[in-house]
Amino acid sequence: MAVSDVGWPQVAFVGLGALGAPMAANLLAAGVPLTVHNRSRDRELPLEALGASRAADPAAAAASAALVCLCLRDDDAVREVLLGPQGVVAGAAPGTLILDFSTIAPASSAALAQVLAGHGLAYLDTPVTGGTEGARAGALVVLVGGDPLDLERARPLLQVVGGAIHHFGPVGAGQRVKAVNQVLVAGSYAAVAEAMALGVRLGLPMAAVCGALEGGAAGSWALRHRAGAMLAGQFPLGFKLELHRKDLAIALAAAAELGLELPVCERVAALEEALIARGYGGEDVSALVRWFGPFIDPT
């Protein structure tokens, strides 16, 4: 059901983490009637204050919803929320459309879609990119796999959370594109971290250096938005290092199935594992710069 003259359909949102909570808040700000659920129930409270209803479990959240949004940590969490004893399948009516904003393996998305279809439920894999900044601004890039008719049904909602919506084919295609995205993130963040470490040790005025290089061939989102944080040794959360490592595992597994080596990705994954072991997994991916040890920007 899309937006019509009578307004929004009822929507459920399960998973209120760093991305899910601001996405749900944007839906509420747009006037969407929203029911929310999160495993840690206290995360529901700020959204209740904004007008959301709370549900005791995913089944209850889905019971009256035409669309159910998921934004969860990994494959296991998505399977449990959808298919567990108090999962979405237990409460959703036939015809309900599930939008999965989580990043999971493409094969998991395809398998889940098949199971859900057996219950009369439709499914789109809709992973997003843009970090917490994009989630707060409603400017995420949404990467979609699934039936084009289901996408059109979901498009009004997706336009609230995303600044751009791209359809790439059947279920699983969105997750494949997200894997490519995470490979690019790995390389760009690692390159910026290396460049900052080298520039500081060369005694360069790095703020000026970054400003000069942003407009040239070395320019990137990571350089523009994360170099300053790396130089300051501060890592405000855009996307957790440990979650990026999880996503890289998906990309590396896809490459391995094709007999393709991703040496840069493999090296970044090893750096991330080392930093996670040191307790930095909850920091932003820009914490990759910690691998180079402490340094002080001379500027």
pLDDT of residue 7: 85
Count of CB atoms situated within 10 Å of the CB of 78 = 27
CA distance 87 to 76: 13
- The answer to whether 159 touches 133, Cβ cutoff 8 Å, is no
In a domain, 61, yes or no: yes
The CATH number of whichever domain residue 35 belongs to comes to 3.40.50.720
Q: Which tokens sit at 69?
A: 């949004």
User: Is there a single domain that holds both residue 132 and residue 262?
Assistant: no
pTM score over 0.85: yes
Mean pLDDT of 199-205: 95
User: Is there a single domain that holds both residue 129 and residue 183?
Assistant: no
Angle of helix 263-277 relative to helix 173-201, nearest 10 degrees, comes to: 70
Using the 3D structure, point to which of 145, 169, 193 is the last residue of a domain.
Answer: 169
| Residue 6 binned pLDDT confidence (cut-offs 50, 70, 90) | very low
The CATH number of whichever domain residue 253 belongs to comes to 1.10.1040.10
Which region, left, alpha or beta, applies to residue 83 given φ > 0 means left and ψ of -120 to 50 means alpha?
A: alpha
Which residue segment(s) compose the domain that 88 sits in? 11-169
User: Is there a single domain that holds both residue 23 and residue 137?
Assistant: yes
User: Is there a single domain that holds both residue 246 and residue 206?
Assistant: yes
User: Is there a single domain that holds both residue 39 and residue 152?
Assistant: yes
62-93 pLDDT, tens per residue? Answer: 999 999 999 999 999 999 999 999 999 999 99
In a domain, 268, yes or no: yes
Q: Which carries the bigger pLDDT value, residue 28 or residue 6?
A: 28
Q: Where are the alpha helices (DSSP H) in 84-147?
A: 88-91, 106-117, 131-137
User: Is there a single domain that holds both residue 145 and residue 53?
Assistant: yes
Percent of the chain scored above 70 by pLDDT? 96
User: Is there a single domain that holds both residue 117 and residue 208?
Assistant: no
Mean pLDDT over the full length of the chain: 95
User: Is there a single domain that holds both residue 264 and residue 190?
Assistant: yes
Using the 3D structure, point to which of 169, 187, 218 is the last residue of a domain.
Answer: 169
Q: How far is CA 118 from CA 51, 114, 130, 152, 244, in A?
A: 34, 7, 33, 22, 32
Strand 67-70 with 128-129, pairing: unpaired
In a domain, 102, yes or no: yes
**Given a cut of 50, is residue 222 above it in pLDDT?**
yes
pLDDT of residue 299: 61
Q: Which residues contact 4 (CB under 8 A, 6 or more apart)?
A: none
In a domain, 5, yes or no: no
User: Is there a single domain that holds both residue 17 and residue 73?
Assistant: yes
- Total domains in the chain come to 2
98-154 pLDDT, tens per residue? Answer: 999 999 999 999 999 999 999 999 999 999 999 999 999 999 999 999 999 999 999
In a domain, 193, yes or no: yes
pLDDT of residue 1: 38
User: Is there a single domain that holds both residue 85 and residue 68?
Assistant: yes
CA distance 27 to 205: 43
Mean pLDDT of 240-259: 97
Mean pLDDT of 229-249: 94
In a domain, 299, yes or no: no
Using the 3D structure, point to which of 142, 169, 196 is the last residue of a domain.
Answer: 169
| Residue 297 binned pLDDT confidence (cut-offs 50, 70, 90) | low
**Given a cut of 70, is residue 34 above it in pLDDT?**
yes
In a domain, 276, yes or no: yes
Mean pLDDT of 34-45: 98
pLDDT of residue 2: 40
Percent of the chain scored above 90 by pLDDT? 94
In a domain, 129, yes or no: yes
User: Is there a single domain that holds both residue 109 and residue 70?
Assistant: yes
User: Is there a single domain that holds both residue 24 and residue 155?
Assistant: yes
261-289 pLDDT, tens per residue? Answer: 999 999 999 999 999 999 999 999 999 99
| Residue 5 binned pLDDT confidence (cut-offs 50, 70, 90) | very low
Sign of CA dihedral 177, 142, 39, 8: negative
What residues are annotated to the active site? 178
